[in-house]
Each structure stands twice: as C-alpha cells, then as structure tokens.
C-alpha cells in the first residue's frame, strides 16, 4: 500500500476552509523556499536576520494577522494557527518572532492602547518595519509575575521606570518594548521606544535552545517617559495575562508543526535506512513509535482546530488554551525525542532538523507558562483549589 502522510491520517484538512488552506500553502512555500535552507546555519551561528524576516513576514500579512484594522489582516484564529504551525515546522524561533510581535506586543497595543498609540505603532509593526517585544518576566519572577519588582513612579506628568526584564524575545532588535511595571495603581503597561535614555537591551548568550531567535535582558534605569506612554485601557495582571492567551493559542498549533517536521523526517529516514538487512521502517518497534506519534499529532491537531473554532466564536477560555498548550507542547517534545532515536547517531546533528526542534521545544515547554503552571491551572479548574502558592 502507498504510505499515508501523517498529517492526512485524520483528514483534518476537511475541517479547514479554502482560504485557510491557501494561507497555509503560502507560509509553507516561504518556509521551504527561503527559510528552511538557512536554518541550520542561523541556529549554529546563533544569529538571525530579524529585520529582513520581520519585513518578509509583514509582506505576507503574518504580523498581527488575527487583529482587525491598522494594516492588520484580520483573519481568523485557525488561519493564524496554521501560519504558526508552518513557521514552527521550520523553526520555533521563527514562530517566536511572529508570536511576540503579533500576539504579545501588537495585541497589547491593539487591545489596551489609546487611539494615538495604535496609530503610531500598529501599521509599522504590521508591515515589519517596526519590531516589538514584550517584557513581563524578571530575573527573580517568571512563573509568578505578581511578584515583579520593575516599578513606574510618577514625577510630575512623567513616568520614571526602574527594573530589569529577563528572557525577552526580540529584545535587542525591538523598536518598541511593551514593559509591565508596578505602579501605585497596580500593574500597568508602558511603551518604551528603543533609544530612550536609561533603557538598554543585552543579548543572552550561550543558549542551547531557540538559537535562531533573539533573547535579551532589558535594563531600565530611571527611564523617563511621557504620561501618554502608558497603556490606558488596562490595569492589573489581567493585562499581560490576557496577551498570553493569544500567544499560547499560537503555540497550540505551532508545536505541532515542529512535531510533524520531525515525524516526516523520521518516516523518510526509516524508509531509507537499512538495519539487519531490511528497512528500519519494516520493524514492529519502529512502527509502534511511528503509530503512537501519528496518534498524538493527529489528536493534537483536532484539539487545535477545535480551540481555534471556539476562539473564532469568542468562546474559548484561558483554561482551554492552557490545556492545549500543555498537551501539544508536551507531546511535540516527546515526538521530537522519539524521532531522534529513529535517526540514531544522525539524529544528533544539524544535518536533520530533529535535534534542533527537540532542543527548541525545551524552551517552548517553559515559556508562555511552564508545563507545571498549566498543569496547576487545570488542577485549579478541576478542583477549585488553587495550588500555585
Ligand atoms: P492572579 O494574580 O490571581 O490574577 C491576576 C488577574 O489576571 C487574571 N488572569 C487572566 N486573565 C486573562 N487570561 C489569563 N490567562 C489569566 N490568568 C489570570 C485573573 O483573573 C486576575 O484578574 P482580576 O481582574 O481578577 O485581577 O493570577 P492567577 O492565579 O489567575 O494566575 C497565576 C498564574 C501562575 C497562572 C499566572 O501568574 C501565570 O500564568 N503565570 C505564568 C507566567 C507566564 O506565562 N509568563 C510568560 C511570559 S511571556 C513569554 O514567555 C513569551 S515567550 C514568547 C515567544 O518567544 O514565543
Ligand atoms: P521559574 O518560574 O523560576 O520556574 C522554575 C521551575 O519551577 C519551573 O519548572 C516551574 O514550572 C516550577 N514552578 C514554578 N512555580 C511552581 C509551582 N507553584 N509549583 C510547582 N512548580 C513550580 N518572558 C517574557 O516576558 N517575554 C518574552 O518574550 C520571553 N521570551 C522567552 C524566550 C525564551 C527562549 C525563554 C527560555 C523564556 C522566555 N520568557 C519570556 C520567559 C518565560 O516566560 C519564563 O522563563 C517562564 O515563565 C518561567 O519562568 P522562570 O524561567 O523564571 O522559571
């Protein structure tokens, strides 16, 4: 019998519209023709052409793609998810760039900003002319942002910010940082343009994961901002946590892209590789691995599309997004590790994408809420008992 591609096993394509399949095809072509060939090199060097990438994603409408107005494409959640899936199938770092730009930085401005802030930043961010970052995590407060120390105090009409943000994607390449800080009034968001005196971004080196992504520390030393730098429409942690729902949703799809790329690679490799005189793919142990992985990717895809449709109907809950992020990232990481075993020693080199996806997914498991935090979110949902603290 002719082998069936793992992505077609569950006939999920039947759940997509023609427009969604078209968008997926466009992003896939960009990845295949312009990005995938460069990734081993970018990953090895730990450097990406972030500005060129942002412009190229912007020209396809992928930045702030699910937002309405201000030059954004205004597409549905599933279309956005499929774009994330294709990008992450190339490398999680590419999806990170797009997630942080569209779902965190642009979303914060779009949802909580003043009309002037939206007009100033969103059109340029949609084209990729301007890059944004999102500073919530601090050196001593990651899972527990309620403990943040970064502060903003009033000085006349101005704001003065002090503090450090850590692990910030796009940090040193950003034209504008969305920085969350404690005020007398609760947590508020601030727009900090690059180049503001007292504000600096230092790249974090020696990463062995997400090497094709910029990760930085943001330092704020008496950064003076005008009154209108504050996002007026939200106060409290529900501001940044509301943005996280958007980016976590993209990861529900994105992680499956990395898993599928690993699975396709492993199936092809097992078909070609002969061990003990016959193809590795013909051994039952290998087939069990492949069957289990195809099940997880297929179930994950059904969950992702279902959550996407709920989101489009305005009905998805943060807890459901937590469930999707937890499940799909955990399973994608397991798939990547298992595919790595199928490739044997070849699995540890950058000649194949599998180890790159596996080490990237270690970051994806941690950022946007660790697997433990999402487990506790579900635990609270099921029992009514918060067990975070
Ligand atoms: P609590 O402090 O009690 O609540 C604060 C307020 O926030 C509300 N809230 C949410 N609102 C919208 N969406 C959510 N998902 C929300 N979760 C909580 C909550 O209702 C409350 O509102 P209000 O109006 O009553 O004040 O916080 P909690 O107990 O609900 O949450 C605790 C916990 C641990 C779940 C939360 O702090 C958390 O999610 N921590 C994880 C932090 C995190 O995910 N950081 C990610 C940083 S950004 C990042 O990683 C980018 S990587 C991007 C890339 O490169 O792709
Ligand atoms: P901690 O919070 O210190 O957690 C350490 C361990 O303790 C984890 O296993 C955690 O699950 C566990 N733990 C914590 N609390 C509990 C509990 N109550 N019960 C049991 N276990 C618990 N942040 C941003 O704001 N913006 C970004 O753009 C961004 N980009 C990132 C890019 C990369 C490559 C990485 C790696 C991180 C990025 N982050 C970003 C930060 C990320 O969100 C945090 O790393 C994450 O939220 C976890 O925080 P932490 O690293 O401080 O770990």
Ligand 2 centroid to Cα of residue 165, in Å, is 12
Residues with catalytic roles: 368
Give per-residue pLDDT as tens, 77-125: 999 999 999 999 999 999 999 999 999 999 999 999 999 999 999 999 9
pLDDT at 236 over 90: yes
User: Could you give the C-alpha distances from 15 to 43, 81, 268, 310, in angstroms and in order?
Assistant: 34, 13, 27, 13
Whether residue 212 is predicted with pLDDT greater than 90 in this model: the reply is yes
CA distances 341 to 135, 262, 263, 365, Å, are: 37, 11, 12, 20
The whole-number pLDDT of residue 189 equals: 99
Backbone angles phi, psi at 142, to 5 degrees: -110, -70
Instruction: Kindly state the average pLDDT of the residues 334-363.
Output: 98
pLDDT at 331: 98
The closest of 213, 204, 174 to 192, measured between CA atoms, is: 174
pLDDT in tens, 184-209: 999 999 999 999 999 999 999 999 99
% of the chain surpassing 70 pLDDT: 100
pLDDT for position 7:
87
For position 3, what pLDDT does the model report? 87
Q: Does ipTM top 0.90? A: yes
pLDDT for residue 60: 98
The CB of 169 under 6 Å from ligand 2? The reply is yes
User: Taking 90 as the threshold, does the pLDDT of residue 231 lie above it?
Assistant: yes
CB 178 within 8 A of CB 131: no
**Distance between Cα 369 and ligand 2 center (Å):** 6
pLDDT at 1: 81
Predicted confidence band of residue 69 (pLDDT cuts 50, 70, 90): very high
Distance in Å, CA 237 to ligand 1 centroid: 7
pLDDT tens string 239-256: 999 999 999 999 999 999
Give the mutation target among 143, 239, 389 for probing the ligand 2 site: most ligand atoms within 8 A of CB.
Answer: 143
Ligand 1 contacts CB of residue 145 (under 6 A): yes
Which of the ligands is closest to the CA of residue 166? 2
Helix pair angle (318-342, 371-383), 10° resolution:
140
pLDDT of residue 94: 98
pLDDT at 278 over 90: yes
Task: Determine the average pLDDT of the residues in 12-32.
Answer: 98
Residue 40's pLDDT band, with cuts at 50, 70 and 90, is very high
pLDDT band at 234 (very low <50, low <70, confident <90, very high): very high
Is residue 241 within 6 Å of ligand 1 at its C-beta? Answer: yes
pTM: 0.98
What is the C-alpha to C-alpha distance for residues 270 and 342, in angstroms, rounded to an integer?
7
Overall average pLDDT of the 141-159 stretch: 98
- Which atom of ligand 2 is nearest to 389's Cα? 18
Q: Would you say the CB of residue 168 lies under 6 angstroms from ligand 2?
A: yes
First to last CA, the chain: 55
């Amino acid at each position: 019998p002719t082998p069936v591609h793992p992505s077609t096993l569950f006939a999920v394509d039947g759940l997509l519209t023609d427009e969604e399949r078209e968008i997926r095809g466009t992003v896939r072509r960009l990845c295949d023709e312009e990005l995938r060939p460069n990734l081993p090199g970018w990953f090895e060097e730990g450097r990406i052409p972030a500005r060129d990438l942002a412009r190229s994603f912007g020209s396809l409408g992928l930045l702030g793609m699910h937002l309405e107005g201000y030059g954004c494409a205004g597409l549905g959640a599933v279309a956005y998810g499929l774009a994330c899936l294709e990008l992450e199938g190339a490398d999680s770092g590419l999806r990170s760039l797009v997630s942080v730009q569209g779902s965190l930085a642009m979303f914060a401005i779009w949802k909580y900003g003043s009309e002037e802030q939206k007009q100033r930043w969103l059109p340029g961010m949609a084209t990729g002319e301007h890059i944004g970052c999102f500073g919530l995590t601090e050196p001593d407060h990651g899972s527990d942002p309620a403990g943040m120390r970064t502060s903003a105090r009033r000085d006349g009409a101005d704001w003065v910010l002090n503090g450090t943000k850590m692990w910030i994607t796009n940090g040193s390449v950003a034209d504008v940082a969305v920085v969350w800080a404690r005020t007398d009034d609760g947590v508020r968001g601030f727009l900090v343009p690059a180049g503001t005196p007292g504000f600096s971004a230092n790249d974090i080196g020696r990463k062995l994961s997400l090497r094709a992504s910029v990760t930085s520390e943001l330092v704020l030393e008496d950064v003076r901002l005008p009154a209108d730098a504050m996002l007026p429409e939200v106060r409290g942690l529900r501001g940044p946590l509301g943005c996280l729902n958007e980016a976590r949703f993209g990861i529900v799809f994105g992680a499956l892209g990395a898993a599928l790329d690993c699975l396709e690679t492993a199936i092809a490799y097992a078909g070609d590789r002969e061990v003990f005189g016959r193809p590795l793919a013909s051994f039952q142990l290998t087939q069990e691995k492949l069957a289990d992985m195809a099940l997880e990717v297929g179930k994950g895809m059904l969950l992702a599309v279902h959550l996407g449709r709920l989101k489009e109907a305005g009905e998805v809950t943060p807890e459901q997004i937590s469930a999707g992020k937890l499940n799909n990232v955990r399973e994608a990481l397991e798939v990547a590790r298992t595919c790595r075993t199928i490739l044997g020693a070849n699995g540890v080199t950058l000649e194949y994408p599998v180890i790159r996806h596996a080490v990237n997914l270690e970051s994806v498991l941690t950022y946007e809420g660790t697997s433990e935090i999402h487990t506790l979110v579900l635990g609270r949902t099921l029992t009514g008992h918060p067990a975070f603290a």
